[in-house]
Structure 1
Amino acid sequence: MALRILDGGMGRELLRIGAPFKQPEWSALALIEAPDYVRTAHDSFVRAGADFITTNSYAVVPFHIGEARFAADGERLAALAGQLARDAANASEHPVQVAGSLPPVLGSYRPDLFDAEASAPLLRALVDGLSPYVDVWLGETLSSTAEAQAAHRALNGDPRPLWLSFTLDDTADIDAIVKGELAPTLRSGESIEAALAVAVSLGAKAFLFNCSQAEIMEAAVRLARAARDARGVDLELGVYANTFEPQRQRGAANSGLSALRDDLQPDGYAVFARRWADAGASIIGGCCGIGPEHIALLSTAVRAEFN
């Protein structure tokens, strides 16, 4: 299957290019105060060769923008995020599709905070705002299968492809995972096989892993590929890792500005990307800390090796 390239991490790219950026709003602050920066970031990933760009809706949740602002303006901000991505895709010289980001609305990396009833209206507002602009739906950085099911319910039968991307527990013993002595799991503790079974039951078209350490992604892809092949289903696999320094304590993602690794510059990241593609991933991009320069290398040299 031909390798397709996702974009990189929006938040750190906004910070890099000088957009308004602080906690608690995170990447939503540019959307609120200076949306031209969001378009600039999308354009950079498009020029780098991304086949998909992701709407800047990840932080359009009460955790980041506050409950009052979300209630008053959440759907409009989601629509703006969709429009900015759509405009960038339409302006591209090569075909680009827009992935509508549906985040874990009650807290990233925190499956213990999930509440189906509380999440439903938040996800519905995002879906309503994004819907006119997206080609695929991307439930991303999901810590549990319950979060994936919530994203699916919010779509209410929307016929566009659903991609489900799970974040892995990288507070575990990464060396043991790399050596095959320990199986990677979701942050909820659920197995890769259980997550894939849920993705299949929900009709997902792609099953991905994101926002975790690069080292554990290969093992997860191999488990997912074996589970997929055993079921005989048509399901693409994908990876977009972050460049965070290892974090051994559990906590909410984006609660602070995490330090980034020096060894995952484009060449270093591409080494891992080749392993993921060898393992069976046909969709590869980047999460937090992965910029246009990384995507450019993936879209040229790495793509050429696997297509």
Structure 2
Amino acid sequence: MIEKLNFIPRIIDGGTGTELERLGAPMNTVAWSAEAVLSNPELLRSVHQSFLDAGAELLIANTFSAAIHNLEAAGLADKFEKINHDAVRIVRELADSSSRPCLVAGAISSTTFSGPLDYSRLLSGEAAVAQYARQAEIQVKAGAELMILEMMRDIEQTRYALEGALRVGVPVWVGFTCFTGFDGQVYLLDTDISLERALRELDLSKAASVGIMHTLIEHTMDAVEILKKHWSGHTFAYPHAGRFEMPNWIFQDAITPENFAGFGKKLLDSGIDSVGGCCGITPDHIRAFS
């Protein structure tokens, strides 16, 4: 399915949500950066533009936190379609006006911003699949050329999200969020589920790409090594720097743009096909890497 894209992006953008916060946009206490689509659309546009100017060939819409289970908790359920549509539209307009090729990705996630996933807020079975499909459909209609499942960190919801996203007919990338435990094993964030188990038990045969995202830079290479043992298709990685204390990103232990560029090259040299950054990674980081 990855062949459906006009080209394969080498450079992904950085942390849109944290860049919004760094520039002064307030973060919603439940839905994090999703509300900024409504409250700060021009700032959001400028953030995406800055990543495009820095060399990004793939812009990811600000929809990571715009799942219905987050917007309902934030009292924004009636804005679900508008937030998901407008977030993609903004990126689509920038890509269309760019003098060089740039792809537009939509994003969906099961995260509940509650540490471990709050399953009391998540649907299951066909209801979950249909809800993920609905969010993906809105984004594709607004101009997304591919869908990225972001911060996937269990088996059940990843399976539902993948099935739902595949229903809209565009390539789907699956991004796992991981950490390296004290025992040296790589686990999905906030769980005892090993990345190896997830890759073994999930049917990823219809995914266009599988990658590691929103994972600390120092843990990313451990996860990449496991990924490469279990997945032979297109791969991506976009790590983060810092930590999260809802609703704010703590820009602690930030990596310099020069060091990030070096790590990005290391990822490419290891065989990762597309590289960018997540939370805490700014346009300066992407520019240095580019």
Structure 2 residue 124 is the aligned partner of structure 1 residue 116: yes
- Deviation per CA, 1:123-169, whole angstroms, max 9, x where unpaired? 23422320221111100101112222111222353321110000003
How far, CA to CA, are the matches of 1:92 and 1:83 in structure 2? 14
Which residue, out of 138, 152, 159, partners 1:149?
A: 159
Percent identity between the aligned chains? 26
**Partner of 1:162 in structure 2?**
172
Quickly say closer, same or farther: Cα 1:201–1:60, change in 2 above 3 A. Answer: closer
CA contact (8 A) 2:237 2:274 kept: yes
Structure 2 residue 143 is the aligned partner of structure 1 residue 136: no
Secondary structure, aligned partner of 2:174: strand
**Partner of 1:205 in structure 2?**
208
CA contact (8 A) 1:109 1:167 kept: no
CA contact (8 A) 1:7 1:53 kept: yes
Quickly say closer, same or farther: Cα 1:134–1:298, change in 2 above 3 A. Answer: same
CA contact (8 A) 2:137 2:168 kept: no
Which residue, out of 170, 182, 185, partners 1:183?
A: 185
Q: Residue type of the partner of 2:234?
A: E
**1:73 Cα deviation from its structure 2 partner:** 1.8
Number of matched pairs: 278
How far, CA to CA, are the matches of 1:256 and 1:67 in structure 2? 14
Q: Residue type of the partner of 1:100?
A: G
**Partner of 1:287 in structure 2?**
278
**Partner of 1:72 in structure 2?**
78
Gaps of 5+ in 2: 1-7
Deviates more, 1:140-149 or 1:43-52: 140-149
> What's the RMSD between the two structures over aligned residues?
2.5
- Deviation per CA, 1:81-127, whole angstroms, max 9, x where unpaired? 11111111111111110111011154475246254246445423422
How far, CA to CA, are the matches of 1:297 and 1:68 in structure 2? 37
1:1-307 alignment runs, 5 A limit: 4-62=10-68, 64-67=70-73, 69-107=75-113, 110-111=116-117, 113=119, 115-117=123-125, 119-120=128-129, 122-132=131-141, 133-155=143-165, 157-170=167-180, 172-173=181-182, 182-187=184-189, 188-197=191-200, 201-228=204-231, 233=232, 235-245=233-243, 255-299=246-290
Quickly say closer, same or farther: Cα 1:32–1:190, change in 2 above 3 A. Answer: same
Secondary structure, aligned partner of 2:91: helix
Q: Residue type of the partner of 1:225?
A: K
**1:244 Cα deviation from its structure 2 partner:** 1.4
Deviates more, 1:65-74 or 1:152-161: 65-74
How far, CA to CA, are the matches of 1:193 and 1:221 in structure 2? 11
**Partner of 1:179 in structure 2?**
none
Gaps of 5+ in 1: 177-181, 246-252, 300-307
CA contact (8 A) 2:208 2:234 kept: yes
CA contact (8 A) 1:240 1:286 kept: yes
